[in-house]
Amino acid sequence: MSDSTPLAICFGEGMVALVAATAGPLEDCRTFHRSLAGAEWNTAIALSSAGIRTAVLSRVGDDGFGRFLTAELRAHGVDDTAVEIDDQAPTGLYVKELVARADGAVDGTMHYYRAGSAAAAMSPEKLAAPVASTLLARAALVHTSGITPAISASALAAQEALYSDHRPGRLVSFDLNWRPALWRGREAEGREIVSGFARRADIVFCTRPDAEAVFGTSDPQELRAQFPQPRYLAVTDASGAVAFDGEERAESDALDAPVVETIGAGDAFAAGFLAGVLTGLSLTGSVARGHRIATRALLSTRDHVD
Catalytic residue annotation: 267
Residues 36 and 17 sit within 8 Å (Cβ to Cβ):
yes
Residues 23 and 50 sit within 8 Å (Cβ to Cβ):
no
Amino acid at 127: L
How many angstroms separate the Cα of 15 from the Cα of each of 138, 140, 211, 244, 251?
26, 25, 25, 32, 33
User: What DSSP letter does each residue of 214-244 carry, written as one string?
Assistant: HHS---HHHHHHH--SSSEEEEEETTEEEEE
Cα separation, 250 vs 42, whole angstroms? 25
Contacts of 232 (CB under 8 A, 6+ apart): 202, 203, 204, 243, 244, 245, 273, 277, 283
Q: Is 191 exposed, middle or buried (0-12, 13-18, 19+ CB in 10 A)?
A: middle
171-175/141-145 β-pairing: parallel
